[in-house]
């Protein structure tokens, strides 16, 4: 009970110190706040940064907020902190000596109270201007012909259905089926582009009777409709494991799917191995500049890892082309590129 009371008090302290920023953060079109100096805040509003004067936001107040965020997250006060706020927002704090003296940076990214359905995203126009960047873009007749091919280019019924949906730009249905058919999906884009929003929406297409494990540094993939789930947390707080250790634990948790919040380091190799050992249907995110570059970005992560250091880059690329089947690129909270090309993947297997 004392620990619960303690957490409540810490949350109350953070909320009290957030009051000068709360009216700006509450703006319906605001997705992120960036404090770069005392006296005001930048608000990312419909993709543009807008300055707001906040006279009560003194340097002392900002330092107190940074300290309260560290305490709330169970961390010592360090020069760089990745934190979560009491209402689910994500935060990043930078203080000297990680930045110049007498400055302090706090970024707060708004957290959606609930996951939007894919139908809602479609109604918002999220899928209204998608570019298919797959190397092969087949006609309906060619897709049907590939189903009856007598070599490695032959596709199965699920692949054919996905190709038909893609060729007809029926993107919501394509995404639903890609999840249900356990295609491995990676969503790319810059920070704040909406990757996690889409990932949360995609999880709603996972059948409710599946056992799902999430691996995150900040808990956002809540899976409200999935009763059989395990949420693993890594990094940041003393006592947490690494993302690689969390992935290793998944192998002994008898799950149907692994949802890794973000590919960012040495865990890339372990993650790919997990997908090729009977656990397809994953959803993850990454930082890259377009859908095609997503493969190169993940290849670079694998190559830098201890496990991938001695593997030829072409072998890593081949593994990626045949494992990460769907690459989605998000920009300004819109899906702008899709790569899904089973014919290309099969050509890599043939080689």
Q: What's the rounded Cα separation, in Å, for the pair 158 and 16? A: 53
Out of 109, 143, 174, a domain closes at 109
* pLDDT at residue number 238: 60
| Shared domain check, 172 and 65 | no
39-57 pLDDT per residue, tens: 999 999 988 999 999 999 9
Tell me, what's the pLDDT at 5?
57
How confident is the model at residue 113, as a pLDDT? 67
Confidence of residue 240 (pLDDT cuts 50, 70, 90): confident
pLDDT at 1: 41
DSSP 43-83: EEETTEEEEEE-TT--HHHHHHHHHHHHHHTT----SEEEE
State how beta strands 40-45 and 30-35 pair: antiparallel
Domain match, 104 and 126 both: no
Q: For 33, which DSSP code?
A: E
pTM, rounded to two decimals = 0.85
Same domain, 179 and 313: yes
> Token digits for 301?
């992560």
Range of the domain at 274: 118-350
Q: How many domains does the chain have?
A: 2
The pLDDT tens digits of the residues spanning 280-306 come to 999 999 999 999 999 999 999 999 999
State residue 137's pLDDT score: 93
pLDDT at residue 351, as a whole number: 67
Domain termination site, one of 109, 129, 163: 109
Per-residue model confidence (pLDDT) at position 3? 57
Let me know if 183 is exposed, middle or buried by CB neighbors in 10 A (0-12, 13-18, 19+).
buried
Mean pLDDT rounded to a whole number for the chain = 92
If asked whether residues 214 and 294 sit together in one domain, one would say yes
Concatenate the DSSP letters of all residues of 76-140 into one string: ---SEEEEE-TTS-EEEEE-TTSS-TT--EEEEE---SSPPPHHHHHHTTTTTT-EE--S----H
> What number is the average pLDDT over the span 177-187?
98
Domain match, 243 and 184 both = yes
154 and 46 in a common domain: no
Residue after which a domain boundary falls, among 56, 91, 109: 109
CB under 8 Å to 265, separation ≥6 — which residues? 243, 301, 304, 305
Q: Is the pLDDT of residue 239 over 80?
A: no
Is residue 105 domain-shared with residue 123, that is, in the same domain? no
What is the structure's pLDDT at 151? 86
pLDDT one-digit tens code per residue, 10-42: 999 999 999 999 999 999 889 899 999 999 999
pLDDT digits (tens, 9 = 90+) for 208-233: 999 999 998 878 888 989 999 999 98
Report helix angle 267-275 to 291-304, nearest 10: 110
Residue 42 and residue 122 in one domain: no
281: domain CATH number is 3.40.50.300
- pLDDT, tens digit, 9 for 90 and up, residues 323-337: 999 999 999 889 999
CA dihedral 132, 133, 136, 138 (to 10 degrees): 10
149-153, 182-186, 336-340 — which is least confidently predicted? 149-153
Q: Quote the pLDDT of residue 342.
A: 95
Alpha carbon distance 305, 250 (integer Å)? 20
């Amino acid at each position: 009970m004392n620990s619960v009371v303690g957490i409540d008090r810490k949350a109350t302290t953070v909320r009290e110190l957030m009051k000068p920023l709360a009216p700006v953060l509450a703006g319906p079109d605001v997705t992120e706040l960036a404090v770069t100096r005392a006296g005001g805040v930048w608000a990312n509003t419909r993709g543009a940064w807008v300055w707001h004067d906040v006279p009560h936001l003194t340097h002392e107040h900002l330092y107190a907020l940074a300290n309260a965020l560290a305490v709330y997250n169970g961390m010592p006060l360090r020069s760089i902190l990745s934190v979560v706020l009491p209402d689910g927002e994500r935060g990043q704090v930078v203080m000297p000596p990680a930045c110049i003296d007498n400055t302090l940076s706090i970024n707060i990214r708004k957290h959606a109270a609930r996951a939007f359905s894919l139908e809602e995203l479609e109604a918002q126009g999220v899928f209204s201007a998608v570019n298919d960047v797959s190397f092969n873009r087949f006609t309906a007749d060619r897709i049907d012909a590939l189903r009856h091919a007598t070599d490695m280019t032959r596709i199965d019924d699920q692949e054919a259905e996905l190709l038909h949906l893609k060729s007809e730009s029926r993107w919501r249905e394509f995404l639903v089926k890609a999840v249900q058919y356990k295609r491995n999906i990676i969503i790319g884009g810059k920070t704040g582009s909406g990757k996690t929003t889409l990932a949360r929406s995609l999880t709603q297409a996972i059948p409710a009777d599946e056992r799902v494990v999430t691996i995150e540094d900040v808990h956002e993939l809540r899976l409200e409709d999935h009763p059989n789930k395990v949420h693993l947390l890594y990094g940041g707080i003393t006592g947490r494991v690494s993302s690689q250790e969390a992935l290793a634990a998944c192998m002994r948790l008898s799950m149907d799917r692994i949802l890794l919040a973000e590919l960012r380091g040495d865990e890339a190799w372990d993650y790919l191995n997990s997908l090729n050992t009977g656990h397809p249907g994953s959803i993850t995110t990454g930082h890259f500049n377009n859908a095609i570059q997503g493969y190169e970005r993940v290849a670079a992560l694998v190559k830098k890892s201890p496990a991938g250091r001695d593997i030829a880059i072409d072998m890593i690329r081949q593994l990626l082309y045949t494992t990460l089947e769907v690459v989605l690129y998000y920009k300004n909270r819109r899906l702008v590129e899709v790569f899904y090309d089973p014919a290309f993947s099969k050509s890599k297997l043939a080689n």
